[in-house]
Amino acid sequence: MPENPDSPPQGKAMNNTLGIIGSGNIGGAVARLAVNAGIDVVLSNSRGPETLRALTDHLGPRARAATPAEAAAAGDWTVIAVPFSAVPHLPAHALAGKTVIDTNNYYRLRDGVIAELETGSLTAGQLFQRYVPGARTVKTFNTIYFEHLISLARPAGSPDRSALPVAGDDDAAKKSVTALLDRLGYDTADAGTTAESWRIQDGSPAYVLPYLADPRLPFFRDPGKPAGTKEIHTALEQAHNRP
Ligand SMILES: NC(=O)c1ccc[n+]([C@@H]2O[C@H](COP(=O)([O-])OP(=O)(O)OC[C@H]3O[C@@H](n4cnc5c(N)ncnc54)[C@H](OP(=O)(O)O)[C@@H]3O)[C@@H](O)[C@H]2O)c1
């Protein structure tokens, strides 16, 4: 039976806890959407639960802070939103067997040069996977600026609902993350396997651009614009140049 069924058997509760490792811009934005959707969140960072007090107070009673290993253990899904350089320090033992959402991007200036990613012999998602053996990883949220992630969320069926690309190797985990995203306010577009996730890395047509109202503006000043499933599929098909 899948670990995170989106339609639980009768008598079983729906998955309702999201663990978050890395509670900055993107982790905090996902936490906000989750709390708004009635999902409990367990947030963590590198400095300890006490440093997340202001954020959990702001998010309200569905939010609490813990250590990264505790957040991983508590979550029906665990979102990882740390700088890529912190990925080797994740609590791999606590993530084994879990559905793990990889939001991370590699930027050489921030993360230092990683040879496999520079040559393209591995995707960032494949390298991530190596650090969390046994986890069922799904890559998403990495293609959207965190403020747009909040402002573009819409209820299911809204005509201006946006889609996020989702890549991964485990179909049940992908399905579970798709159900989670639906609750958070997003449709999804299948971006293939982890090996194919170069199509959603920095510089690809599906990366950030579809959600910008005016690409001439610095993206952090851009108000954002909805981009639906069809537009994201088109952007994925336009990704021809593997780095
Ligand atoms: N910003 C965006 O709009 C955006 C959008 C999509 C994807 N992303 C990607 O998401 C990831 C996070 O970006 P961000 O902008 O959210 O970064 P951020 O605001 O700097 O937050 C990073 C978080 O990671 C935590 N962290 C660092 N090392 C850790 C460790 N070893 N264990 C546990 N937590 C650790 C930090 O906690 P401490 O402060 O306690 O160290 C902080 O809470 C990056 O890979 C980024 O490329 C970002």
224: pLDDT strictly greater than 90: yes
Could you tell me if the CB of 86 is within 6 A of ligand 1? yes
Could you tell me if the CB of 82 is within 6 A of ligand 1? yes
Nearest to 65 by CA among 82, 80, 81, 45: 45
Predicted confidence at residue 14, as pLDDT, reads 74
- The 10s digit of each residue's pLDDT in 28-85 is 999 999 999 999 999 999 999 999 999 999 999 999 999 999 999 999 999 999 999 9
* pLDDT mean over 101-111: 95
- The 10s digit of each residue's pLDDT in 151-164 is 999 999 999 999 99
Could you tell me if the CB of 46 is within 6 A of ligand 1? yes
Domain range annotation of the chain: 17-237
Residue 165 near residue 143 (C-beta atoms within 8 A): yes
* pLDDT mean over 10-25: 84
Nearest atom (ligand 1) to Cα of 107: 47
Predicted confidence at residue 215, as pLDDT, reads 84
Fold of 17-237: Rossmann fold (3.40.50)
8: pLDDT strictly greater than 90: no
The token pair at 143 is 């293609």
4: pLDDT strictly greater than 50: no
- The 10s digit of each residue's pLDDT in 191-217 is 999 999 999 999 999 999 999 999 899
Predicted confidence at residue 240, as pLDDT, reads 81
* Residue from 30, 42, 45, 52 whose mutation best tests the ligand 1 pocket (most atoms within 8 A of CB): 45
The residue assigned the tokens 């959207």 is 144
7: pLDDT strictly greater than 70: no
* pLDDT mean over 108-124: 95
- Measured at the CA of 64, the angle between CA 90 and CA 171, to 5 degrees, comes to 50
Predicted confidence at residue 5, as pLDDT, reads 41
Sheet holding 40-44, edge to edge: 63-65, 40-44, 17-21, 77-80, 99-102, 136-139, 163-168, 187-190
